[in-house]
Amino acid sequence: MITKHPWFGPKRIGWGWRPVSWEGWLMTGLCAAVVIVAGIAFKGTPMTCYVAIAAVAALFVVCLLTGTRPG
In a domain, 71, yes or no: no
pLDDT confidence bin for 10, thresholds 50/70/90: confident
3-class DSSP state of 62? helix
The 10s digit of each residue's pLDDT in 20-32 is: 999 999 999 999 9
- Domain assignment present for 59: yes
Question: What domain range includes position 61?
Answer: 8-66
Question: Higher model confidence: residue 71 or residue 46?
Answer: 46
With respect to residue 19, please indicate whether it lies within any of the assigned structural domains.
yes
Q: Flag whether 3 is in a domain.
A: no
The DSSP call for residue 56 is H
pLDDT band at 16 (very low <50, low <70, confident <90, very high): confident
Within-domain flag for 36: yes
Average pLDDT over residues 11-25: 88
Q: For 30-51, what is each residue's pLDDT tens digit? A: 999 999 999 899 888 888 899 9
The structural domain count of the chain equals 1
Cα separations (Å) of 45 from 31, 48, 49, 57?
19, 6, 8, 19
